[in-house]
Amino acid sequence: MVSQVRYRTFGRLEWKPSALGFGAMRLPTEGDDPARIIEDEAIRMIRCAIDHGVNYIDTAYPYHGGKSEGLVGRALRDGYREKVKVATKSPTWLLEKTEDFDRYLDEQLERLGMSSVDFYLLHALGRERWSRMKELDILKEAEKALADGRIRHLGFSFHDGLDCFKEIVDAYDGWEFCQIQYNYMDTEFQAGTEGLRYAAGKGLGVIVMEPIRGGALASPPDSVRRVFEAAPVERTPAEWALQWVWNHPEVSLVLSGMSTLEQVLENVEAAGRSGPGTLSPEELAVVDAARREWLQTGWIPCTACGYCMPCPHGVDIRSNFDLYNRAVVTDQRERLRDWYSRWPEEKRAGSCRACAECEEKCPQELPIRDLMEKVHDLLGRTSGQEEGKQGGTRKGAD
């Protein structure tokens, strides 16, 4: 029998969040179209999580091609709404004038089928978007929505550098929580460990997204897997990643974008074993060793969030990165090259036109144009071409 999740503290609020939150960003879909959610399965997953004690459901305006909020609303019928807190996010990049804040909020509430939302975030703030929010006086609009009850708690999600993060935290006394990317590979990326502690020290609840980096940390290369297999405690790579985040007392809850019922049950079970300060020094050393091995692989740190897509020229950026990462961390390079060669040409990395539209959208700040060249250079060659290139390199070096 799957255990119940455990509960944590949430900044200044008296409410106790479940250690695990349900992120409605990677729901099961039909084919490659994110808007074609397999509704019955997605609802079953969300309700199963709630039945096991999960009490925080996170969605956003653009998730699943705009279909996530509606799905969440339908999943929370039949008495489930009263069991959870619901979070969604203002699409800050679409706010062109001050009144747009209200317009999108009202549309989101209609999608959700709710008169109010518990937690509302300014989505994916960075320096430029934060500057724009100030110009439009969006916080004043948010305060009106707090006053009339359409939202109950205000926060922000974040993708930028540490200095910018601290600036946003300090700029407004009304923040009650924030959401940051954090995992054992991102201790110094964006807000990082210092930002986590800074926000918690200011009394904010801190929600962690991407604890498994878009699923990448759940499927590590063999060298990383061997590190975990040699550990004194048996855990899956995914649970190692989750427990490492939960080990931090400053973390209020961890969001997981689950795609299968099996993942829901596994994560709920792991959340039932979680707690601040539960990892021993030996276990923390295991994670440090895994981090070092990851850094040796040359993997592309894409979280598969899909914000970079669609590409105006048809390149499937996310799938190209996934194929490349599998090629560099497994021994199946030739099979993956064959797979790549069978894709329609416009989907392949070699069709990138370097327009940079994707780079402007990437929350990981990846140099996607350069990486597309790297992907095609590896996957677009035959083994003979690779050996020839390597041989030429060795000859020149000699």
| pLDDT value at residue 398 | 34
Per run of 10 residues, the mean pLDDT along the chain (length 398 residues) is: 86 97 97 94 98 98 98 98 98 98 98 98 96 98 98 97 96 98 93 98 97 90 93 96 98 97 97 97 97 85 82 89 77 80 89 90 86 89 45 30
Is omega for the bond preceding 367 within 30 degrees of 0, making it cis?
A: no
| pLDDT value at residue 382 | 53
| pLDDT value at residue 331 | 65
Helix axes 237-246, 222-229, angle to 10 degrees: 70
Distance (Å, whole) CA 125 – CA 121: 10
Distance (Å, whole) CA 208 – CA 138: 24
Q: Are residues 332 and 282 in the same domain?
A: no
Distance (Å, whole) CA 345 – CA 348: 5
**Cβ pair 189, 196 in contact under 8 A:** no
pTM listed for this prediction: 0.84
Q: Are residues 27 and 174 in the same domain?
A: yes
**Cβ pair 178, 204 in contact under 8 A:** yes
Q: Are residues 291 and 373 in the same domain?
A: no
Q: Are residues 212 and 130 in the same domain?
A: yes
Residue 120, number of CB atoms within 10 A of its CB: 24
Q: Are residues 291 and 322 in the same domain?
A: no
User: Is the residue at 310 inside a domain?
Assistant: no
Looking at 264, 295, 326, the residue that finishes a domain is 295
Name the residue range of residue 185's domain: 20-295
User: Is the residue at 306 inside a domain?
Assistant: no
Q: Are residues 244 and 325 in the same domain?
A: no
Q: Are residues 256 and 156 in the same domain?
A: yes
Looking at 261, 295, 329, the residue that finishes a domain is 295
**Cβ pair 84, 44 in contact under 8 A:** no
In the chain, how many domains are there?
A: 2
Size (the chain), residues: 398
Within the chain, strands assigned E span 20-23, 56-58, 85-90, 117-125, 151-158, 177-181, 205-209, 253-256
Q: Are residues 268 and 119 in the same domain?
A: yes
Q: Are residues 183 and 332 in the same domain?
A: no
Q: Are residues 328 and 289 in the same domain?
A: no
| pLDDT value at residue 303 | 76
Strands 177-181 and 117-125: unpaired
User: Is the residue at 309 inside a domain?
Assistant: no
**Cβ pair 130, 99 in contact under 8 A:** no
Residue 221, number of CB atoms within 10 A of its CB: 19
Residue 12 burial class via C-beta count within 10 angstroms: exposed 0-12, middle 13-18, buried 19 and up: exposed
**Which CATH number characterizes residue 76's domain?**
3.20.20.100
User: Is the residue at 10 inside a domain?
Assistant: no
**Single-letter amino acid, residue 174:** G
User: Is the residue at 301 inside a domain?
Assistant: no
Q: Are residues 67 and 209 in the same domain?
A: yes
| pLDDT value at residue 201 | 98
User: Is the residue at 91 inside a domain?
Assistant: yes
Q: Are residues 123 and 189 in the same domain?
A: yes
Cβ partners under 8 Å of residue 60, min gap 6: 25, 68, 69, 88, 89, 91, 123
Residue 6 burial class via C-beta count within 10 angstroms: exposed 0-12, middle 13-18, buried 19 and up: middle
User: Is the residue at 145 inside a domain?
Assistant: yes
User: Is the residue at 371 inside a domain?
Assistant: yes
**Cβ pair 190, 26 in contact under 8 A:** no
Residue 270, number of CB atoms within 10 A of its CB: 24
Q: What is the DSSP letter of 26?
A: S
Using the structure block, give the residue that is written with the tokens 């990437």.
362
Distance (Å, whole) CA 216 – CA 326: 10
Distance (Å, whole) CA 151 – CA 290: 41
